[in-house]
Amino acid sequence: MPWLLLALTWPAECDVASLGRRPGWQVNGGANMVSLTVSLAFLALIAWRLVFARLQGKPIAKEIVDPRLPRNTLLDRVGLAVIVGDRFERGAQNVDLFEQEDRAKAYLRRIVALTEAMQIGDNYVLEIGTTRFHVHDRYVRRLRGVSDPKFEYEETCFCLQYTRLPTNEQIARALLALANNPALFDRWAARSQRLRPTARRSSERRGIG
Amino acid sequence: MNARIVTFSNHGDTTLLEYDPASADMDEVNKVVAEYEAKTGAQPFDMATGERIKKVTRKQNEVLMVHPISGG
């Protein structure tokens, strides 16, 4: 843009004070020249900004309206958010950690009530028939035959897809899953190869359970 | 009142879908749930009863998609 270069490198002789009368120039020709230069520079900036925005805007726009992305018809019908890929629209991700924890606690309380579990210290005790589960953070113990002294506690651990899931939600999820399918314990234990008797029932009387 | 399909992720509870149970096309809702289930293995539970459900109906106001848990 030579005219922009010209505007930026206009020599000192073009100062209003240094301008004398020149053929074809008005008395205030210097002032006109300065305003012309400023206008040209301003136009150049606008043009540059438009070109720059156009160059940068293309891929962004393409990303947003990429026609290859699957469209969700539900979005059109009910006008509400739904996930696309791994992106989630709403929930606890937009709140701070304290609120996330509060929400997790609220969910855990609801699920404890739903499954009729009971909180004892850090454990959540879930009884299904004659089987009792003690659910901790990624850890669960089982006692089959609550009233039968010949049974011992077995324990195993479990893991979740989301490793940074708040502890309360991990426990809530395990409680809900076990309440609906107590046999999951065996599946977890088989997977972890850690099924083992850990404590005799007498330990429960000592307050460990 | 809107109904919601939620799940737990690294960000805590996350709303996957929110809809008006009175007017929403429940086939579409179930289609989304089925797709999510197929993709992640998560199973839907009714948050009013705590029970695993096979199909979301207009009666459910909140459905929790519980991701599979495996042995550690």
* Per-residue confidence band for A95, with pLDDT thresholds at 50, 70 and 90: low
pTM for the full model?
Answer: 0.60
Give A110 or A27, the one with higher predicted confidence: A110
Name every chain A residue with its beta carbon within 8 A of the beta carbon of B35.
none
Give B33 or A26, the one with higher predicted confidence: B33
pLDDT at B59 over 60: yes
User: Which candidate, A161, A147, A153, A150, places its Cα nearest to that of A133?
Assistant: A153
In this predicted structure, what is the pLDDT of residue B25?
92
- Taking CA atoms, B53 is separated from A66, A140, B39, B65, in Å, by 35, 24, 18, 10
What value does the mean pLDDT of chain A take?
A: 68
Contact B44, B37 (CB under 8 A): yes
Q: Do A90 and B45 touch (CB under 8 A)?
A: no
Longest Cα–Cα distance in chain B: 43
* Per-residue confidence band for A30, with pLDDT thresholds at 50, 70 and 90: low
pLDDT in tens, B5-19: 998 877 778 889 999
Distant-in-sequence, close-in-space partners of B23: CB < 8 Å, separation ≥ 6: A78
Looking at residue B61, what DSSP letter applies? Answer: S
Contact B51, B59 (CB under 8 A): no
Map out the domains of chain B as residue ranges: 3-66
pLDDT in tens, B22-50: 999 999 999 999 999 999 899 999 999 99
The CATH-assigned architecture of domain B3-66 is Roll (3.10)
- The residues on B that touch A, with CB distances below 8 Å, are 2, 6, 8-20, 23-25, 28-29, 31-32, 36, 40, 45, 47, 49-52, 64, 66-72
In this predicted structure, what is the pLDDT of residue A149?
77
Q: Do B16 and A72 touch (CB under 8 A)?
A: no
* Per-residue confidence band for A13, with pLDDT thresholds at 50, 70 and 90: very low
- Highest averaged pLDDT of the listed ranges A18-22, A91-95, A167-171: A167-171
In this predicted structure, what is the pLDDT of residue A39?
81
pLDDT at A77 over 60: no
Q: Do B50 and A176 touch (CB under 8 A)?
A: yes
Give A157 or A86, the one with higher predicted confidence: A157
Q: Do B23 and A82 touch (CB under 8 A)?
A: no
What value does the mean pLDDT of chain B take?
A: 90
CB contact A200 to B (< 8 Å):
no
| Spatial separation of the C-alpha atoms in residues A155 and A143, rounded to whole Å | 9
- Taking CA atoms, A32 is separated from A28, A38, A57, in Å, by 6, 10, 37
In this predicted structure, what is the pLDDT of residue A53?
53
In this predicted structure, what is the pLDDT of residue A143?
92
Q: Do A72 and B32 touch (CB under 8 A)?
A: yes
Name every chain B residue with its beta carbon within 8 A of the beta carbon of A117.
none
In this predicted structure, what is the pLDDT of residue A117?
93
- Buried b / exposed e along A57-71 (16+ C-beta atoms within 10 A): eeeeeeeeeeeeeee
Crossing angle of helices A184-192 and A167-180, rounded to 10°: 120
pLDDT in tens, A115-149: 999 999 889 999 999 999 999 988 899 998 877 77
What one-letter code names the amino acid at A206?
A: R
pLDDT at A205 over 70: no
User: Which candidate, A107, A129, A121, places its Cα nearest to that of A175?
Assistant: A107
Strands of the sheet with A90-91, listed across from one edge: A90-91, B12-19, B3-9, B62-66, B43-46
DSSP string of chain A, one letter each residue = -HHHHHHHT--GGGSTTT----TT--TTHHHHHHHHHHHHHHHHHHHHHHHHHHHHHHHHHHHHT-TTSPPPHHHHHH---B-BTTB--EEGGGS-HHHHHHHHHHHHHHHHHHHT-EEETTEEEEEETTEEEEEETTEEEEEESTT-TT--EEEEEEEES-TTS-HHHHHHHHHHHHHH-TTHHHHHHHHHT--EE---HHHHHTT--
In this predicted structure, what is the pLDDT of residue B27?
93
The predicted model gives A55-66 an average pLDDT of: 39
Question: How many percent of chain B have pLDDT more than 90?
Answer: 69
A42 min Cα distance to partner chain B (Å): 47
* Per-residue confidence band for A5, with pLDDT thresholds at 50, 70 and 90: very low
Q: Do A158 and B18 touch (CB under 8 A)?
A: no
Question: How many percent of chain A have pLDDT more than 70?
Answer: 52
